[in-house]
Amino acid sequence: MQLRTFLTASAAAATLLALGLPAHAQAPANYKSEYRLSVVLGTAFPWGKGAEIWADKVRERTQGRINIKLYPGTSLVQGDQTREFSAIRQGVIDMAVGSTINWSPQVKALNLFSLPFLFPDYAAVDAVVQGQVGQEIFKTIDKAGVLPLAWGENGYREISNSKKAISKPEDLKGMKIRVVGSPLFLDTFTALGANPTQMSWADAQPAMASGAVDGQENPVSVYMAAKLSTVGQKYMTLWGYMNDPLIYVVNKDVWASWTPADQAIVKQAALDAAKEQIAISRKGMSEADKPLVKELTAQGVTVTDLSPAQRKVFADATKSVYTKWKPQIGTNLVDMAEKAIAARKQ
Ligand code: X2X
């Protein structure tokens, strides 16, 4: 061995020792030195936290063989959330924790979650994603060219705005609302009499600050972490019109490049991280007294919590959207979801 090679090798061994990793942790030669994990929201949000937990567990359990780095802001596709799925399939992105909304342009079935007022409560979400429907959707994602491993959750999307309290569809009349991804959102907000406009999350915040849009819809945890009250979003209505699950995925070539033992580790780590992520995401909203809502109120936000009767008025006003999209998503799949929800344990 030449002296230089020897020194480099011993330096590498010393680094591994310093990291507390045994020398046999060295990765097979075909492994990348870094795997790129895409997320929209970073570690200040439950979403990014869930991705970080996954990366940490994988690094620990593979003794550093698989080293994952987070790329928040969907930066690997220049912030264009709706291009994330294709980029994973093509290998521009190695791994992701992504939203069903952002991937719905490529995977029609994912619009299931955006059907207005399908999910009355968290038990309904669990019955669908953790049951047969969730498995069917995973098969569809797999067929579309990306390997799904676990379900996480961004959360129930509530509506905020800078103008006035919303308690009935007429209150939305003419309001300019920023929406995401799928054309389904344009249909829903148009049916409610609002004026929806599609833009990325990166563009949404300046648009709220400048008053170019009046409102937006996102989970309360996102509203809080992004401090949307500082960009004029003073009114929040809890209407729970849809829940936005997240999916932990890996590019298929990357997956195939790993040993079966490492594949098993990555999968189990995704399941464990997703479970923790869902708990973080529901914290403050799933308890009966909703502590997060109290915090909102304390920040001076006017919170309108719809009664079941008020909620029904919104559901009735968007029924045509539900009916129009059901066959596009897949009548069988939607039927299966409706049945799972009706049969849920509460
Ligand atoms: O853009 C949004 O609203 C966000 C962050 O919730 C998603 O990526 C779906």
Asked whether residue 18 carries a pLDDT value surpassing 80, the answer given is no
**Ligand 1 surroundings by CB, under 6 angstroms:** 40-41, 81, 99, 101-102, 154, 180, 201, 218, 222, 244
How far apart (Å, rounded) are the C-alpha atoms in residues 216 and 211?
A: 12
The verdict on 173 and 61 lying in the same domain is no
The pLDDT value given to residue 158? 98
| CATH code (residue 216) | 3.40.190.170
Q: Of 228, 263, 307, 289, which is closest to residue 41 (Cα–Cα)?
A: 228
Asked whether residue 4 carries a pLDDT value surpassing 90, the answer given is no
For 111-138, the pLDDT digits (tens) are 999 999 999 999 999 999 999 999 999 9
Ligand 1 atom closest to Cα of 157? 6
Tokens representing residue 332 in the block: 């069988």
The verdict on 45 and 148 lying in the same domain is yes
Percent over 90 (pLDDT), the chain:
92
Cα(342) to ligand 1 centroid in Å equals 28
Cα(168) to ligand 1 centroid in Å equals 24
Under a CB-based contact definition with an 8 Å cutoff, are residues 321 and 191 in contact?
Answer: yes
Pairing of strands 215-218, 176-179: parallel
In a domain, 258, yes or no: yes
Backbone angles phi, psi at 244, to 5 degrees: -110, 95
Under a CB-based contact definition with an 8 Å cutoff, are residues 191 and 320 in contact?
Answer: yes
Residues 102/103/109/114 CA torsion (nearest 10 deg): -10
The verdict on 134 and 105 lying in the same domain is yes
Mutate to test the pocket of ligand 1, among 39, 82, 101, 184 (most ligand atoms within 8 A of CB): 101
Ligand 1 atom closest to Cα of 216? 3
The verdict on 186 and 252 lying in the same domain is no
Ligand 1 atom closest to Cα of 101? 9
**pLDDT interval class at 346 (50, 70, 90):** confident
The pTM of this model reads: 0.93
In a domain, 14, yes or no: no
User: Which residue's CA is the nearest one to ligand 1's atom 8?
Assistant: 40
Q: Angle CA(336)–CA(337)–CA(339) in degrees, nearest 5? A: 65
The verdict on 188 and 68 lying in the same domain is no
Ligand 1 atom closest to Cα of 81? 8
For 240-280, the pLDDT digits (tens) are 999 999 999 999 999 999 999 999 999 999 999 999 999 99
Cα(154) to ligand 1 centroid in Å equals 8
The pLDDT value given to residue 20? 52
In a domain, 130, yes or no: yes
Give CA separation, 206 vs 109, 201, 211, 225, 227, in Å: 31, 10, 8, 16, 13
The pLDDT value given to residue 133? 98
Asked whether residue 43 carries a pLDDT value surpassing 90, the answer given is yes
For 152-193, the pLDDT digits (tens) are 999 999 999 999 999 999 999 999 999 997 899 999 999 999
The verdict on 224 and 252 lying in the same domain is no
Residue 186 belongs to what domain range? 158-242+287-342
Query: Stretch 24-52: mean pLDDT, rounded?
Result: 94
In a domain, 3, yes or no: no
Residue 119: CB partners within 8 Å, gap ≥ 6?
113, 125, 128, 156, 240, 242, 243, 341
Cα(25) to ligand 1 centroid in Å equals 37
The verdict on 129 and 166 lying in the same domain is no
In a domain, 89, yes or no: yes
Cα(32) to ligand 1 centroid in Å equals 29
Percent over 70 (pLDDT), the chain:
93
Cα(324) to ligand 1 centroid in Å equals 24
Q: How many domains does the chain have?
A: 2
In a domain, 202, yes or no: yes
